[in-house]
Amino acid sequence: MRWVPGSEALLRQQVSLRPITAANLAYLCNLDPRGPVAPNAVSVVEGHYEVSAYLRAIYAGELPVGLIMLGEDRSEEEAEFFLWRLMVDVRHQRAGYGSEALDLLMDYVRTRPGAQELVTSCDPGPDGPEAFCVKMGFEPTGTWLDDEMIIKRPL
């Protein structure tokens, strides 16, 4: 599968989250995040070895355009759902795919027992996703993880 200029009509089709398979793995690993996001190959490996990971490819119609990963922590006190990774290829950014994918992920999280909020961390710098996260309803918690601020969004 290859993206070519002029295929914008394909990209306007419905966004979906699909499992990562042998058929789409190489294509996903070659997508370019262009920014402070780990390469998709790293995300796939991390998701494979972390039992709590929910890892999906982001599709626009039949074209893979990114990747999203959720971490689920079920302690005895409460459940925590952490947006671990959200990556949209640089050629497809600012087309609404990240927003749609995040909405779909939140729909999934709402089905999980004990889900009340989605938590993530973000780099507040000029190249970071802070503006996107604020647009999506995330708010600062006042805590930091290394150099990233922790933010959350009620479900």
pLDDT band at 5 (very low <50, low <70, confident <90, very high): low
Ranges assigned E (strand) in 42-126: 53-60, 63-74, 79-88, 117-122
Secondary element (H or E) of residue 140: strand 139-145
pLDDT tens for residues 8-18? Answer: 444 445 899 99
pLDDT over 80 (residue 3): no
Closest CA to 65 of 122, 3, 7: 3
Residues 6+ apart with CB under 8 A from 142: none
Domain range list for the chain: 14-154
Residues 6+ apart with CB under 8 A from 152: 117, 118, 119, 120, 138, 139, 141
Residues 6+ apart with CB under 8 A from 129: 35, 86, 122, 123
CATH domain 14-154 topology: Aminopeptidase (3.40.630)
CB count, 10 Å around CB of 128? Answer: 17
Mean pLDDT over 21-43 rounds to 88
pLDDT tens for residues 98-152? Answer: 999 999 999 999 999 889 999 999 887 777 788 888 889 999 898 998 888 899 9
